[in-house]
Every structure is written in structure tokens, then in C-alpha cells.
Amino acid sequence: MDLFLSDLNEDQEGKFLKKRRRKRMTMDLFERQMDISSDKDSLEQFLYQVTGEFPRIHSKEYIQKQLRSLREGESVERIANRMILDALENISGEEPDWTFVASRIYLCLLYREAAHHRSYPLEQRYGSFYELIQTLTEQGVYSSLLLDAYSKEEIESLGNLIDPERDHLFTYAGLRTLADRYLARNHNGELFELPQERFLVIAMTLMSEEKREHRMLWVKEAYWALSNLYMTVATPTLSNAGKAIGQLSSCFIDTVDDSLRGIYDSNTDVATLSKGGGGLGVYLGKIRARGSDIKGYKGISSGVLPWMKQLNNTAVSVDQLGQRKGSIAVYLDIWHKDILSFLDAKLNNGDERLRTHDIFTGVCIPDRFMEAVEKREDWYLFDPHEVRRVMGWSLEDFYDEEKGNGSFREKYEACVQHPEIDKVCMPAIEIMKRIMISQLETGTPYMFYRDEVNRMNPNKHAGMIYSSNLCTEIMQNMSPTTVIEERTEDGKIVITKQPGDFVVCNLSSINLGKAVPEGVLHRLIPVQVRMLDNVIDLNTIEVPQAQMTNQKYRGIGLGTFGWHHLLAKQKIQWESEEAVRYADELYSEIAFLTIQASMELAREKGAYPLFQESEWQSGTYFERRGYQSQEWKELAQEVQKYGMRNGWLMAVAPNGSTSVIAGSTASVDPVFAKEFSEEKKNYKIPVTAPDLSPETVWYYKSAYDIDQQWTLKQAAARQTHLDQSQSLNLYVRHDIKARDLLDLHLSAWKLRLKTTYYMRSTSSEYVDCDSCSS
């Protein structure tokens, strides 16, 4: 532990204090100006100080404009907002640092607002941390957890960790996003919490149940990781940690049983989780097809589409804490008889009664289908209920254990040959055409390659993976929850259910563009894994089977963002073998450190309950991935000896919002452009690619100009080291030829990717996933 909790040495501390005093002088100037809002001398001095920190910007004209615009009696807020807007207008590829000028000015408005509402002197910037917790707990904004878990002396001591200088790491877009969506306000909407306090509250919350002798040190480490923007936590954790309302997990995955009770119970569970801020992935593959029989009466079933409509209505009507409408993705197997209407469900033309515009779709694809597409063979569609009734087993419960050989294709061929099973035959390529048409128009369906997913599942001894989550990066065991018995007892109705595996996504992400160049992965990842593991124990999930699944597998998803940012800083071209090799090397290192951290946690706290007979325990996990070095062999032996704390470890989420806060690029995506605008509800913020300079500009090629085959090669190198998957967007132009789009899908499958996410076309607009933006 000492390795991760070491303090600054004397030389480092001296440099740090000098830098801190220099920046303190700048803040003092602005604080004085805030009290003398029309004093031109103070304003001029302040502006020269702030802009002088950024030698690449030309500030003289900007400063003169602010001085000319000054009016006697003008409010501080009006002056500051004008300065911010004018700074933002100056942001360009040549002068990107204007974003930091705007951020510094906006910071002072936040300091001013918090000081006013909390009644402390403005020159302090940050008020009493203990009083903040006490006040917001009394007002019902914070839960009582912090005051119950920590003494007043501990809280005051932790308050001394707050370093206001780290507020200067934010771009304007990052700071504005954090302030608008995540900082705690009272019930009247008045700002109380400041950025470093949000980070410290998260650190205290997630480390609150650590052993007392080490707890303060772990809080310190978590605050170090968060406040330096080396990592981000998932959106629900960032928003809700320490608060009285909301849960900490990003999203959930349910498997719907083929019964009326199962369907409606699942919809209730979806609504319950959506109201708490969770996104949902829902597998519909067990539901009988349109025209199937019900209780022996043929042609009665209305199929999957009505239940999709029901989920669509839930997504719209049950919003997430008033912040945004619910987010739901539904998945269906490519052999299901309803697949064609499913693929049309998000299109803008056709029968509106069969459209579900507010949810997202994903297709579960076995190897056998992709082979049929490539060879231009026929493909057969079945009703899963009829298969169960006639064959005595469920087709969706099988996968090919080896590439080109396995139980799914055997069962599929048995269904094709069976005379009593009604089937629809059509060319596989025609179904693929329907997929590609929908993708170019709507961005979906997502592609879920079910055989590869299940082959690489380290916990296949305990279950099956049918589909993924809202953002296609989570791969964990699933099963439906069913009602066993319902009876009356002592005047009450008692319902007994067999709980299924209801997946919970617990996410956070490494900021590659900052953590890797500064060489902190060895210190960062153990802290991050511990924080994620603690989310499992701290979370109170209202759906019992989800809570039980969370505890049973203790699955987490440590991910990354800032990949393009990192490549640019390392001067590596996206379309190069060097980038592919770097992805392989870097994610191998991240995987090693993450597995090691979970093993160390298991040594300290115990392994997850289903560790025995898993591929972690047998060593097969390491063999499958070709980890043959002595270092890896020693780690595999330690895992066998001490266990793993977490059944699943790594998943790369989209990171839309949190990458903006951290001032980096999203997930493993390339940038849209070197200069663009972040669109918010009522305004746009000019943004440039991070750390844009004459040295990095050549490495920021637009996503739509990049050969996506190189993106797939990088993803394949990365996928080797991820036990789950990655939210992998593909960027194409609207006039892409059908054969080129098909080649991308065939390449993704042949490279053994588990999933692809949105097909982002220049002609389409998309809604990003907020729930998984860790």
C-alpha cells in the first residue's frame, strides 16, 4: 500500500508550492476585481495575468474590447459572462487555450455563487467542507452516510486535501458540464458544492466501508485520482455519490421470460431502474414470434413488437430523476421469426404503429449466419416457442464452442431438418441488407457476435450471455426471473420467484491522454478497482434479483477514454501498424494491472462466490489469450491461489459526458473534427481536439476520413485483453457502397470482435448514451 500512498518528496513539494503561490496571485486579482466590478485598472491587471499564462494566444485586442465594454454599475455576473463569451469566440485550432481563459472566469462565478449561498468570504474560494456536508445532509440533498461514517475531525482533516488549483485543469466545456449536471444544489437549485468537493465526496462515499486503519489513505488516493482527472467514475456515480437519491450503477441487463407475467414483471423492473438513472439492455429472444400459438391456440401471439412498444413507452414516460428520458436497448436473435419487423422498428417510414423511435436495437448474431452471408447461402427463421415445444430445448441456449464447430450450428441444422417446425427461408444477404439500411438511417442495430462472446466468457460454468447492455460493452451471464408460486397467507399475497441473473454495470474509466503520459497506471488502477468493487456493496438496487446478481458475480467494468488524445500526444498516426501494436501493448498492461488489483482485493476481502470452476480458477482464461511470459504465469498462479474479487473486470464504455469533463476524447473513438461544438440543451460550446498544437494537429484526422479497417484492427488488438467488450462506433459517409459496408461487418466478425456499437453516418443524427458515459 505504501507504494500507492506515497507523498510528494521535498523537491516536488517545493515546486508545487511555488506554482500554487503563483496561481494564487492570479486568483487574488480577480477576487478583488469582483468586488470592484467597474474598476478598469483591476480588470486590466486581472486579464493580463490570466491570459499571460497562455503564451500561444493573442490577447491584446480581447483585453481592449473588455475594457471598452465596461459600464459603470454593471453587475459582476454580466461582466464575467461577456468575457466568457468573447473568450469562447476566440477558440480556434491556432489558439485553443482560450477555453482555459473562459474556464478561469467561469470558475470565479462558481466560487462567488457558492460563497454567497454558504455565507463564507469569497477570498477563501472553498468554504468549510464539514459545514457543507452538515448543511446538505440537513436539507436532504446528501444522505446521512458521510456524517455516520466519518467523525467531524476526519471530515475536517479530509477537507484539507482540497486543492483549488486542480480546478484549473478543466476546459470550459468540461467545467460547464460538471457544474450544470453534477455539482450538488439545494432544492431551490442554488449551487452549494464546488468541483473539488464533488470529487472528495465521491472518494469518501466509495471508501466509506474500508477498514478504519487504512480508510483515510484510500480516500486520499481516490481524491488524487479523481481531482487530477486521471480517471472518471460513471455518470450515476458522479451525480449520485453521497446524495440521498439515486443509485451508483450505470446500467442493467434483463432477460425477458416468455410469459405474460414475465413480460409485465420485466417492464416493471425496467421502469423501477430507469427512474433511478439506470440505462437498460433487454433481451427479447425468448418471447414467441408473431402468429405463434398460446395454450395450443394457433396464430394467436402478437410477437415481439407490441412488447417493444411497451418498453418504448416506458423509456419516454419514466424519466431519470427528471434529467432525461429513460434509455433502453432491446436485442433479438437473427434467426427469430420477428427479426424483419424488429429491424424496421426504428425506421422513419412505414406503419407508425410498428415503430419504436425511442429505444435502440441490437441483433444477436451467430457465426453460422455470417458464414451464410459471406457464402450467399439461405438462412432460416424460427419461432423460439415452437422450437422449445417440439425439440425440448431452446435454440438461444446454445453457442459454437469452437470457431466453425459447436452445439449451436448442430441445433440450428436440427431445426432446419425437422418436419414439424415451421420455418421461413430467405437469403442471408437480404437480412444483412436490411441491417445495413437501418444502420445508415438510424445508426442501429448494434451487432452482438454471440458465439465469440460466450467462447471468451470466463464464467461460462455458471451461465450464458444472450445479449449486451445499452452501449454494447458489458458481457455477463443472464437468465430470466420466473414466478414459482403465488398464494395467500394470513390475508396477504405471497409471491415466490426464482431469481435470474439480472446484470448490473459498474463502470469507471482511465483517462489515457493524461494517466499514460504521466506514468501513473500502477498507482491508479488498484485505487480504481477498489472504488468499483465498493460500488457493489454500497449500491442499493430496488430490483432484488439485480442486487443478488451484483453480489454473486461482483462484475465491474474498468474502461478507458482518450485513445485518440493519447495517440496524438505520442505522435502515432491512427491508420498505422504502430497504432495497432500500441493498442496491444497498452491494453495488455492495463489488463495485467487490473487482474492483479482484483486478485489482491480477493486476498484481502475474499473471492467472488462463483470463482471456483471459473476460467480464472482453472487458468484457462490466461491460456486462451496467449499470456505466456513469466510475469503472466506468476500472476495466473497467484489468481489460482488467492482468487479473483470480481467475475468480470474490463469494459470500454462510450464516455461521452465524462470525457468532456476530463478534457479528452471519448472512449476509443477518433475525433469528429479538430474544431467542433459541444451541443448542450440551450447553447453550443466551441471545442478543439485536446492538446491541439502544431505538433499534434497532424495526428487528429477526422473520424469520417479514417479508413475504418484500421479502427477494427486496433479494436481487435484491444479486444484480446478485454474480458468483456468495447463500445466501438464505426464512422462512414452516407454514400458508402454496400459492399464496403458489408466488408466492415465481415472484418469485425473475422477479427473476433464481440460487438460493434453505432454505425455513425454523415447523414444521421444520434443520441449518445448518458448512463454509460463513465
**Residues 282, 330: contact at Cβ < 8 Å?**
yes
Residue 251 is a catalytic residue: no
Residue 552: strand, helix, or coil: helix
Q: Measuring CA to CA, which residue among 190, 195, 184 is closest to residue 245?
A: 184
Q: Specify the pLDDT at position 299.
A: 76
Report residue 505: phi and psi, to 5°.
-100, 115
281 CB burial (10 A radius; 0-12, 13-18, 19+): buried
- Overall pTM surpassing 0.85 (yes/no): yes
Q: Which sign does the torsion angle of CA 594, 595, 600, 602 carry?
A: positive
Q: Is the bond into 195 cis (omega within 30 degrees of 0)? A: no
Kindly state the DSSP code that residue 222 receives in the 8-state scheme.
H
Residues 728 and 594: their CA atoms lie apart, in Å, by: 21
Q: Which sign does the torsion angle of CA 253, 257, 260, 262 carry?
A: negative
Report residue 493: phi and psi, to 5°.
-95, 120
Contacts of 78 (CB under 8 A, 6+ apart): none
Q: What is the largest CA-CA distance in the chain?
A: 91
Q: Specify the pLDDT at position 37.
A: 47
Task: Cell numbers for 572, please give them.
Answer: 502515432
**Backbone torsion region of residue 190, taken as left when φ is above 0, otherwise alpha when ψ lies between -120 and 50, otherwise beta:** beta
Lookup result for grid cell 485483453: 721
Q: Which residues of the chain have pLDDT under 70?
A: 1-38, 320-325, 350, 680-681, 763-774
Long-range contacts of 406-415 (CB under 8 A, 24+ apart): 406/451, 408/366, 408/368, 408/451, 409/366, 409/367, 409/368, 412/335, 412/366, 412/368, 412/380, 415/380, 415/382, 415/387, 415/391
Q: Specify the pLDDT at position 41.
A: 87
Contacts of 110 (CB under 8 A, 6+ apart): 175, 179, 183, 191, 194, 195
Residues 124 and 115: their CA atoms lie apart, in Å, by: 8
Q: Specify the pLDDT at position 128.
A: 98
The architecture of the domain spanning 251-486 is: Alpha-Beta Barrel (3.20)
> Looking at the DSSP assignment, which residues form a beta bridge with residue 482?
498
Residues 143 and 156: their CA atoms lie apart, in Å, by: 18
Q: Which of 197, 221, 396, 473 is catalytic?
A: 473
**Residues 639, 627: contact at Cβ < 8 Å?**
no
Residue 349 is a catalytic residue: no
Residue 461: strand, helix, or coil: helix
Taking CA atoms, 584 is separated from 103, 414, 577, 642, 754, in Å, by 36, 40, 11, 27, 16
Residues 45 and 47: their CA atoms lie apart, in Å, by: 6
**Residues 564, 664: contact at Cβ < 8 Å?**
no
> Looking at the DSSP assignment, which residues form a beta bridge with residue 405?
402
Q: Specify the pLDDT at position 209.
A: 97
Q: Which of 240, 312, 454, 469 is catalytic?
A: 469
Terminal Cα-to-Cα distance of the chain (whole angstroms)? 26
Q: Specify the pLDDT at position 39.
A: 78
Q: Which amino acid, one-letter code, is at 727? A: S
Element (H, E) at 581: helix 577-605
**How many other CB atoms are found less than 10 A from the CB of residue 526?**
22
Lookup result for grid cell 453505432: 758
Element (H, E) at 676: strand 675-679
Lookup result for grid cell 413507452: 313
Residues 506 and 607: their CA atoms lie apart, in Å, by: 17
Residue 349: strand, helix, or coil: coil
Q: Specify the pLDDT at position 678.
A: 80
Q: Specify the pLDDT at position 12.
A: 46
Write out 257-312 in H/E/C secondary structure: CCCHHHHHHHHHHHHHHHHCCCEEEEECCCCCCECCCECCECCCCECCHHHHHHHH
Residue 469 is a catalytic residue: yes
Q: Specify the pLDDT at position 107.
A: 96
Q: H helices then E strands: how many in the chain? A: 31, 18
Q: Specify the pLDDT at position 617.
A: 98
Q: Which of 108, 251, 364, 471 is catalytic?
A: 471
Question: String of b and e for 408-438 (b: at least 16 CB within 10 Å)?
Answer: bbebbeebeeeeebbeeeeebbebbbbbbeb
Domain residue ranges in the chain: 10-220, 251-486
Element (H, E) at 584: helix 577-605
Give the number of residues written for the chain.
774
**Residues 447, 332: contact at Cβ < 8 Å?**
no
